[in-house]
Amino acid sequence: MVIVLFIFYAWFCIQVLMNLRLKLPLAVNALLFMAIEVVLTNKLTISGLNLQLFQINQNIPHFIALILHNDFTITFILIAFANVFLLSSKTSVRTGIAVYAFGIQLLLGMELHRNQVLIYKEWDYLNESLMILLLMLYTLLFGKLFQWMASREGWIR
């Protein structure tokens, strides 16, 4: 059941990105996807395995749910966040997407804990919140960098 739940979450987050009216160029989104994936994989490895702040459930359905969450759900939330934030000039829209991105990532982190996909040892929701904010900041910085690169190299139509 946990796999079905996280497939639904991944599908929802992909649909949010695909239904955006304005999107960054495909090359920017592809580079941003790769940059986010590098950080998410390293975050999971360092926090879970090296520092042992949480334990990853080795049960196959739970592990697949973690992969779906880490590789699709969070990545597409952050890409949608960067697309809306960088292409909108309205403060209300920027605030709204920031609240959405932060809130849904925090709720999905709680869902991972509730379904015992991640078993917290020295990890808590404050650590989770700080990590989400750092990931959002990282996404914006690299999104802006890749957007600048696209305009300089002529990738924008």
pLDDT band at 154 (very low <50, low <70, confident <90, very high): confident
CA distance 41 to 82: 19
CA distance 23 to 84: 7
DSSP string, 7-51: HHHHHHHHHHHHT-SS---HHHHHHHHHHHHHHHHHHHIIIIIIS
pLDDT band at 153 (very low <50, low <70, confident <90, very high): confident
pLDDT, tens digit (0-9, with 9 covering 90-100), for 81-92? 999 999 999 999
pLDDT, tens digit (0-9, with 9 covering 90-100), for 7-64? 999 999 999 999 999 999 999 999 999 999 999 999 988 998 889 999 999 999 999 9
